[in-house]
Structure 1
Amino acid sequence: MYPRRAAGIVLALVTGAALLAGPAPARAAPADFPAGDEGYHTYAEVTAELEKAVANHPDLAALSSVGKSYEGRELTAVKISDHVSADEGEPEVLFTCNQHAREHLTTEMCLHIVQRLTSGYATDPNIRSLVDGHVIWVIPNVNPDGSEFDISGGGYQYWRKNRRPVEGSRSVGTDLNRNWGYKWGCCDGSSTSPSSETYRGPSAFSEPETRAVSRFVDSRAPRIKAHIDFHTYAELVLWPFGHTKDDTTEGMTAEENARLRDVGQRMAATNGYTAQQSSDLYLTDGDINDWMWGSHKILTYTFEMYPTGPFPGFYPPDEDIARETTRNDAAVDILIGEAR
């Protein structure tokens, strides 16, 4: 999330066909992770794993798309429910990952959530209870163009933004997590410079990726009750608001702040992360959590995953994937349980 640091059945309501006009731009050739990190999953490999989960658990999981990236990649979503083909009106939970291209561990986190909730359903009573009582949505890669570019050329590119060229500039890319519409550009928590890593774009929701995911959330509101957006790194649990240092302000009562704080602290107690309001770190505006809460009162958090440092810690070895994704299992369960 933060640039200086050491989240089957095709649903017509989430089709992305109307989000992009004209032919998709040319993509870079598919790449793999650098030697030694092949345990990470490329976009194609993630897609294959999701298709496998759906094929193995067709009564529990279904694939759809919430739209397309700038380069035409599907923004794949997985629905997990005990009656996946039905719309039961149960409270819904959303997990999003990889808004920032170089934060590949987050895609592994979302993939792990899908695999755990589907493969564990038959044998784990806790998982069964959570799935039976909720509809769970997982979007493993909000920024597939950026994440594929980040592993191009045989090495990491340290790329953060998406890949849409900035009109009138030689720069490429907008920071998707500064492009959301609530308090966009309000409070010196993003940049107007296209060359900046926190460039917020020319307008709120200027990017096809944020438009697609926001329209999906709008279409499911008010049923979506809880949300985590996974990032790396710093081992933090963060809650809104990011645009102001105030705990209580327009759109946030003391009671609401207390609940966000309580749930955040309980989740952090399970994984050893530090829990704090987002703005206690520094100000951000136009981020996904402020929009989720400010627009829909969704109980929403950012998880900054492993490691804590030193800078730059965006590329932990693939040997750490299993440990650092399972580390969040209990926190994920708490969040699902809070969706009511």
Structure 2
Amino acid sequence: MLTRRLARHRAATLIAGAAGLALLAPLAVTADATEATHGQAQDSSGSETVILVPGADTPAERTEVARTGVDVLHMDQDGLAVRATDRQVAELRARGFMPQRHQPVSIAAPPPVDDAYHAYEEMTAVLSDTAAEHPDITELTSVGTSYEGRDLPLITISDNPAQDSAEPAEPEVLFTCTMHAREHLTSEMCLRIVTRFTSEYGTGPEVTELVNERAIHVLPMVNPDGAAYDVSGERYKGWRKSRMPHYWGSVGTDLNRNWAYNWGCCGGSSGYPRSNTYRGPEPFSDPETRVIAEFVNSRVVDGQQRIAAHVDFHSYGELVLWPFGFTAADTPDGMTEEEYQRFVDVGTAMADTNGYEPMQSSDFYITDGTVNDWMWGEHDILSFTFEMYPSGGGIDGFYPPGSVIEKETARNDAAVDLLLREAG
């Protein structure tokens, strides 16, 4: 199983402020000279630290922080937790912010084995076993391959998984996970969806009804190259991006800035290859985003997009986000007031089931070239991002122990069911 668990040093744990922001202990994260400059920061000068930026209270202020090239981790009422180089800290101070030390990025002792998480090979084995055990309601395919040649498996769950021949066509819903390499909990979320909607079919009335009336597409690992790299060797790497090489020896694209809709339009991504939010040299430059887009495009049958809804699972922060990210406007070109209100209503209803905070993506900070904006802007797909557990932390927020997987994935069962019903 996947080698990953927090190296916990409870004696170093403090609590900051009434919000209970944890100043957590060092995590095992690589800081070697070669990879530290390969996309982990926009500027490799100086050491990296996880810092808290108080006073970033509005979307505009959070966007200004993000545009310094820092790696935004999460927000709460005390500010933004970000990963920053010394130069970025200096730039934040020059812009009038008062960054505070939050957590060192450390090369502490490597974590022990955690058997609860699935590595890429184990994830594909689960899908293969599930398809073999439930041949009448599943179809296992691949949307294509990653830069390093790994298949991106897609499993479809339906009483008629060969949807092209279904009459009338059933509404389809797509779930994607692990677009960012270090967000391993999200693959477990997708695997829970697969397991629940196959194992409970025929015995659970709601699951059975949803499988009979929908086609459920699940892509558990969008970024398998990055995910494998993140846990390779002896230390966590805190790696976010893909593994496709770019200019100046840099490696990786932020796959959630590489989508074509308003790509690079609005200061919500970076054109610098070493940035953690590098958008790539052009839209769909990376094979992972390109093949998923091709799959979504292929679901337009007789002029109608059959995928009605989508969730892209991320971690962390416990948020439900909806388009648009590229603009602070609620209803720019491409969205009516009625359509915006439906996002609000559905997003808020899902957040009521899991305790997450609902908001338009740009209410966090401006992003462009994202999957949600493309899904809606290109195909009118009701598309959301879920930022999963935990609500706060530092780099360690990406590496919760395996003991939380069952609880934190089951936490989204009702939201998943709600979206499947809304897709009708």
Q: Same fold (TM over 0.5)?
A: yes
Aligned to 2:199: 119
Match of 2:290 among 208, 211, 233: 211
1:163 matched residue in structure 2: 243
Q: Deviations over 1:47-75 (max 9, x none)?
A: 01111111111111111000000000001
* Aligned position for 1:135: 215
Distance 1:3 1:55 in 2: 41
Deviation string, structure 1 residues 295-327 (Cα, Å, up to 9, x no partner): 000000000000011122100001010000000
Map of 2:54 onto structure 1: none
Give the RMSD, CA atoms, in angstroms: 1.2
Q: Whole-Å Cα distance in 1 between the matches of residues 294 and 173 of structure 2?
A: 16
Q: Greater shift after overlay, 237-246 or 87-96?
A: 87-96
Letter in structure 1 aligned against 2:389: Y
Partner Cα separation in structure 2 for residue 99 and residue 44 of structure 1: 17
Amino acid at match of 2:337: A
Alpha-carbon distance between aligned partners in 2 of 1:252 and 1:37, rounded to the nearest angstrom: 44
Q: Which whole-Å CA distance do the structure 2 matches of 1:163 and 1:38 have between them?
A: 25
Tell me if 1:294 matches 2:377.
Answer: yes
Structure 2: tracts of 5 or more residues without a match: 1-69, 75-109
- Residue 415 (structure 2) pairs with residue 331 (structure 1): yes
**Aligned residue in 1 for 2:314:** 231
Cα distance between partner residues in 2 of 1:182 and 1:130: 31
Judge which range, 287-296 or 154-163, deviates more. Answer: 154-163
Deviation at 1:125, TM superposition (A): 0.5
- The one-character-per-residue Cα deviations of 1:88-115 (angstroms, maximum 9, x if unpaired) are 1211000000000000000000000000
Give the 3-state SS of the residue equivalent to 1:148 in structure 2.
Answer: helix
The answer to whether the Cα contact below 8 Å between 1:190 and 1:285 also exists between their aligned partners in 2 is yes
Deviation of 1:36 after TM superposition, in Å, equals 3.8
Provide the C-alpha distance between the structure 2 equivalents of 1:287 and 1:219, rounded to a whole number of angstroms. Answer: 19
TM-score by length of 1: 0.90
Partner of 2:400: 316
- Once the two structures are superposed, residues 242-281 of structure 1 have per-residue CA deviations (whole angstroms, 9 ceiling, x without a partner) of 0000001110110000001100000000000000000000
> Which residue in 2 is equivalent to 1:13?
none
List aligned pairs for 1:1-340, cutoff 5 A: 3-6=71-74, 34-85=111-162, 87-88=165-166, 89-166=169-246, 168-221=247-300, 222-312=305-395, 313-340=397-424
Distance 1:169 1:41 in 2: 33
Displacement, 1:35? 2.1
Distance 2:225 2:393 in 1: 27
Q: Distance in 2 between matches of 1:93 and 1:178?
A: 22
Moved over 6 A (4+): none
CA-CA distance at 1:136 after TM superposition = 0.7
TM-score normalized by the length of structure 2:
0.72
Secondary structure of the structure 2 residue equivalent to 1:169: helix
Q: Which of 1 and 2 has greater Rg?
A: 2
- For 2:261 and 2:215, the matched residues in 1 are separated by 25
Aligned-partner Cα distance in 2 for 1:85–1:219:
13
3-state secondary structure, aligned to 1:4: strand
Of stretches 138-147 and 83-92 in structure 1, the one that deviates more from structure 2 is: 83-92
C-alpha contact 1:76 1:139 (8 A) present in aligned 2: yes
Which SS does the other structure have where 2:327 is aligned? coil
Could you tell me how far apart the structure 1 residues matched to 2:390 and 2:320 are? 13
CA drift at 1:161: 0.4
Q: Which amino acid aligns with 1:179?
A: N
The amino acid across from 1:306 in the alignment is Y
| Count of paired positions | 312
Q: 1:336/1:40 Cα in 2 relative to 1: closer, same or farther (>3 Å)?
A: same
Instruction: Give CA-to-partner distance per residue, 1:163-192, whole Å, 9 cap, x none.
Output: 0000x3211000000000000000000001
Contact 1:233 1:314 in 2 (8 A): yes
Question: Do 1:36 and 1:318's aligned partners in 2 also have CA atoms closer than 8 Å?
Answer: no
**Structure 1 match to 2:36:** none
- Structure 2: how far apart are the matches of 1:314 and 1:4? 12
1:270 and 1:306 map into 2 onto residues whose CA distance is 14
Q: Is the 8 A contact 1:142 1:209 kept in 2?
A: yes
Percent of pairs identical after alignment?
59
Q: CA shift at 1:147, angstroms?
A: 0.2
Whether contact under 8 Å (1:34, 1:151) holds in the other structure is no
The alpha carbon displacement at 1:155 in A equals 2.2
